[in-house]
Amino acid sequence: MQRITILGSTGSIGVSTLDVLSGHPDRYQVFALAAQSSDAKLLEQVERFHPRYAVLCEPAAAERLRSSLQGRGLPTEVLCGAEALVEVASAAEVDTVVAAVVGAAGLAPTLAAVTHGKRVLLANKESLVMAGRLFMDAVRRHNAQLLPVDSEHNAIFQCLPQPFAGMSSAGVRRLILTGSGGPFRDLPLSAFGSITPDQACAHPNWSMGRKISVDSATMMNKGLEFIEACWLFDAQPEQLEVVLHPQSIVHSMVEFLDGSVLAQMGQPDMRTPIAHCLAWPERIKNRVPSLNFFQLGSLSFGAPDPERYPCLDLAIAAMRSGGTAPAALNAANEIAVAEFLTGRISFPQIAITVDRVMQGWNGWEPRDLDCVIEADLRARAMAADALVACRRVAL
């Protein structure tokens, strides 16, 4: 029986994880569920999965959940605040932590799970982007098991020999990350200024949270995944390539020295990589339907246009500069995306804001988590300044 904590249980990945778990009550037991503020959704999950702990970061939401559960005879204790997230990620009773909080808020609890030697199912790519070297050092030092949930990295993981001892000893020439290009792949660039948040969140193939949906539309998501792949597989930026693949059926590929290319394919449904990570090295059932190749007909591939997707190049440049540059990129992007989602800046201003911050960034190698947090905060302040300038231009 694996005892599981889900950080971000009310989000898209959290809900998909619970859907997979619900089919295997004999293998998995939910130890803790954690979210930001959605007490009504968390209440439903608590009623269904009876965790030992339910965590909400927002105090008022935690209070509401506590009173809804009063007198119900459920075994669940409600905890509150960011420290509680760390507690349920590192508790001795926990075997597996699903890291599915969105954004920089995921870093501290995910790293806590790592330093307590847990099996960590990583969806929160931002924590690896922010603290790549420190994070991977901690994985090795504490003997944690890191399994990639992100579909591209999960695909690459499935194509690599296990145990994987590095790109050269596995005979790998290139890692090929695929990306659909999002909802604006064919939209004229002249129309980008009037893109609305709802249009940006309507991904053609995947159903995801709003932040990652916008990142997919700008292809910052692929940029963050580029950085994530460098750290996960100890690859140099030159060993990675991003390929557009509108159908989202090939989730990524590995090319070996002899010219062989292995691809992992499947429905664009996160329950596949989630089930793979939960059961690894075994396989378990989920509710994902089979691929129908007759209906698919053909798969196509192409090169991403840098003019359409400036965020992709900004992220690759941040990885090449190293140090705190990826943390700064991530922070600037979070601020810009939040502004776009509330309608305060236009879609093209996301890339402009991130670019402004990166132009003024003087990176350094972070010694510890505090250095990463400092870089994150500094980049957020720079992004806020850049946004003021952006809005002045718009007036």
Query: What value does the CA radius of gyration of the chain take, rounded to a whole number of Å?
Result: 21
- The option from ligand NAD, Mg ion, none interacting with 105 (CB < 5 to 8 A, set by class) reads ligand NAD
Residue 11 contacts ligand NAD per CB under 6 A: yes
| # residues contacting Mg ion (CB under 5 A) | 3
Q: Which of 39, 126, 334, 339 binds ligand NAD (CB under 6 A)?
A: 126
The DSSP letter of residue 17 is H
Nearer to Mg ion, 32 or 263 (CB): 263
**Cβ-closest residue to Mg ion?**
150
Residue 150 contacts Mg ion per CB under 5 A: yes
Q: How far is CA 188 from the centre of its chain?
A: 28
Contacts 24+ apart (CB under 8 A), 285-289: 285/23, 286/19, 286/20, 286/23, 287/19, 287/23
Residue 126 contacts Mg ion per CB under 5 A: no
Residue 14 contacts ligand NAD per CB under 6 A: yes
Q: Which tokens go with 276? A: 């793979």
Residue 10 contacts ligand NAD per CB under 6 A: yes
Q: Please state the closest distance from residue 348 (CB atom) to ligand NAD, in A.
A: 22
Beta-carbon contacts of 109 under 8 Å, excluding residues fewer than 6 positions away, are 7, 34, 82, 85, 86, 88, 89, 97, 99, 101
**Given the rule CB under 5 A, which of 151-159, 166-174, 362-370, 372-380 is the region that contacts Mg ion?**
151-159
- The option from Mg ion, ligand NAD, none interacting with 12 (CB < 5 to 8 A, set by class) reads ligand NAD
Query: What would the DSSP string read from start to end of 123-147?
Result: --HHHHHHHHHHHHHHHHHTT-EEE
Residue 212 contacts ligand NAD per CB under 6 A: yes
Q: Please state the closest distance from residue 119 (CB atom) to ligand NAD, in A.
A: 17
Question: From the CB of residue 137, how many other CB atoms can be counted at a distance below 10 Å?
Answer: 12
**Given the rule CB under 6 A, which of 134-142, 172-180, 204-212, 373-381 is the region that contacts ligand NAD?**
204-212
Site of interaction with Mg ion (CB under 5 A):
150-152
